């Protein structure tokens, strides 16, 4: 199916129609945030699900019961998702956890006013591209990719769901100081998940014993999340994606197995140009 059939343009970016019907977008538009909400902000395929599971387990103090009983996407809902308004967010006690793929300039009025906590997860865009390229073939709400080269052009031009990685990351980086916020990379989580859990728990104001940190890191390790029906999308509405392939490889640097030398050089050129005014050095720079 084509982009016209599967996507709508909302606030300047493509979003998959099947996941984000107009009534969900309106509900998000009018949603009331609380100052102690924590909002996980990610460009797609940057480690959203991993962060949803990790923060949920931190909030439960390392008690894995809900992590083995309730789907991740219900414990830490996506604000723009079709099921958001059915998850009783208004009745949930504080502090609430939620996630979004929105760019900063798409965020609703209440978010800008209330300034809740933000956890911004970033990942090497080459690996984001690679993960996204493979995901397109396993999710029926996305347009199937024709070739790597064609999809690369679309990705670099922002003609993919949630638009340009560059605009998304720069937009959020620019405002992080205005919010109680923490930035963390997928790569840092891969390098040392226990340390990442510790830092996240400090940001969230949750004190954890070293045993709890160990337990959470183990629960959130790639293979364990892949096996867990609550975090591997086995509980997603049937047919929308293939749960066996959501947790695909979970590694850093897989782009080297996908991009040709010429494509990687082209990526570097676009990256350098797009990021030339960004002072911040990412772990992959
Ligand atoms: S989505 O569709 O936007 O919500 O995808 P998202 O969750 O942001 O990213 C999916 C990629 O994250 C990988 N993943 C993990 N990596 C390491 N450890 C853990 N626990 C983990 N959980 C998810 C997942 O495998 C996707 O990356 P790729 O490179 O495709 O494997």
Residue with CA nearest ligand 1 atom 20: 222
With a CB cutoff of 8 Å and minimum separation 6, the contacts of 169 are 43, 122, 125
Homologous superfamily of the 3-274 domain (CATH): P-loop containing nucleotide triphosphate hydrolases (3.40.50.300)
Q: Which of 136, 250, 257, 259 to mutate to test the pocket of ligand 1 (most atoms within 8 A of CB)?
A: 250
SS3 for 13?
strand
pLDDT for 238 equals: 82
pLDDT in tens, 41-77: 999 999 999 999 999 999 999 999 999 999 999 999 9
Ligand 1 atom at minimal distance to the Cα of residue 127: 29
Dihedral sign of CA atoms 86, 44, 136, 10 in order: positive
Strand partners, 82: none
pLDDT for 239 equals: 81
With a CB cutoff of 8 Å and minimum separation 6, the contacts of 24 are 80, 81, 82, 84, 85
Ligand 1 atom at minimal distance to the Cα of residue 225: 20
How far is ligand 1, taken at its centre, from the CA of residue 113, in Å? 31
With a CB cutoff of 8 Å and minimum separation 6, the contacts of 134 are 245, 248
pLDDT in tens, 24-46: 999 999 999 999 999 999 999 99
Residue with CA nearest ligand 1 atom 17: 250
How many CB atoms sit inside 10 A of residue 70's CB? 13
Q: Which of 14, 41, 49, 77 to mutate to test the pocket of ligand 1 (most atoms within 8 A of CB)?
A: 49
State yes or no: is 219 an active-site residue. Answer: no
Whether the predicted pLDDT of 182 surpasses 90: yes
Q: In the 3-class helix/strand/coil scheme, how is 101-141 assigned residue by residue?
A: CCCHHHCCHHHHHHCCEEEEEECCHHHHHHHHHHHCCCECC
pLDDT for 177 equals: 97
């Amino acid at each position: 199916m084509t982009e016209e059939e599967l996507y709508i343009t909302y606030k300047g970016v493509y979003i998959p129609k099947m996941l984000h019907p107009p009534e969900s977008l309106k509900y998000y538009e009018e949603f009331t945030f609380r100052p102690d909400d924590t909002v996980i902000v990610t460009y797609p395929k940057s480690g959203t699900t991993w962060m949803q599971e990790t923060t949920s387990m931190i909030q439960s103090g390392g008690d894995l019961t809900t992590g083995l009983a309730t789907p991740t996407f219900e414990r830490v809902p996506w604000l723009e998702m079709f099921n958001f308004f059915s998850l009783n967010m208004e009745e949930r006690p504080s502090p609430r956890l939620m996630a979004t793929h929105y760019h900063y300039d798409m965020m609703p009025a209440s978010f800008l006013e209330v300034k809740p906590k933000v956890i911004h997860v970033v990942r090497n865009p080459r690996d984001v591209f690679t993960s996204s390229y493979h995901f397109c073939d396993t999710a029926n709400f996305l347009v199937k990719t024709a070739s790597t080269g064609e999809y690369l052009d679309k990705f670099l031009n922002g003609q993919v769901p949630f638009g340009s990685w560059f605009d998304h990351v720069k937009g959020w980086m620019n405002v992080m100081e205005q919010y109680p916020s923490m930035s963390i990379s997928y790569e840092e989580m891969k390098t040392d998940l226990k340390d990442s859990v510790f830092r996240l728990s400090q940001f969230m104001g949750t004190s954890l014993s070293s045993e709890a940190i160990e337990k959470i890191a183990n629960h959130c390790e790639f293979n364990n999340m892949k096996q867990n029906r609550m975090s591997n999308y086995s509980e997603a509405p049937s047919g929308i994606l293939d749960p066996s392939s959501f947790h695909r490889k979970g590694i850093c640097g897989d782009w080297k197995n996908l991009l040709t030398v010429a494509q990687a050089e082209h990526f570097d050129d676009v990256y350098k140009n797009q990021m030339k005014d960004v002072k911040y050095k990412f772990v992959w720079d």
